[in-house]
Amino acid sequence: MVADLLTAKGSKNATVLALEGELGGGKTTFVQGLAKALGVKEKITSPTFVIMRRFDIGILGNYDFKNLYHIDCYRLNSPKELIELDFKKIIERPENLVVIEWAEKVKSLIPKNAVWISFEWKGEKERKIMINSKIKKPDSKLIYGRRKTI
């Protein structure tokens, strides 16, 4: 499902995955798995204190991305703090895949075509993940509206 969203680039800007959910919901674990699938060699940890990290994307898969930006907005007091980190320039570049944890804290900055992924803790080894996307394929067919999975 996520792979379909990543290969269906319908925008001339970065692809943005906006993650939301409570502490321990699985957001960072999701980013770790995504980074591994994209060929990122570095260890992925939550950038809570540095706010943003950039990783080179390997050559795995059929993706046009060169950079993975992992952003954690948990400690931000306002969206302005993210703007000060050149966020607007980052999301203008189509070679960037931008994954934002705690995206609801900077909702006013999130592009309208972002893929929203909500994580809900259901138990020690169980999460409910909801994906809300308006990404379209070049033939303009909607890939996913709202979809739920466990």
Bridge partners (DSSP) listed for residue 53: 70
Could you say which residues of the chain have pLDDT below 50? 138-150
Contact 27, 35 (CB under 8 A): no
User: For domain 2-149, which architecture applies?
Assistant: 3-Layer(aba) Sandwich (3.40)
Question: Which among 40, 16, 1 is positioned nearest to 94, based on CA atoms?
Answer: 16
> CA-CA distance, 73 to 147, in Å (whole number)?
25
Q: Is 107 helix (H, G, I), strand (E, B) or coil?
A: helix
What is the reported pTM? 0.83
Question: Which among 67, 68, 74 is positioned nearest to 48, based on CA atoms?
Answer: 74
User: What pLDDT was estimated at residue 28?
Assistant: 94
Q: Report how far apart the first and last C-alpha atoms of the chain are (Å, whole number).
A: 13
User: What pLDDT was estimated at residue 29?
Assistant: 92
> CA-CA distance, 15 to 9, in Å (whole number)?
7
> CA-CA distance, 99 to 114, in Å (whole number)?
10
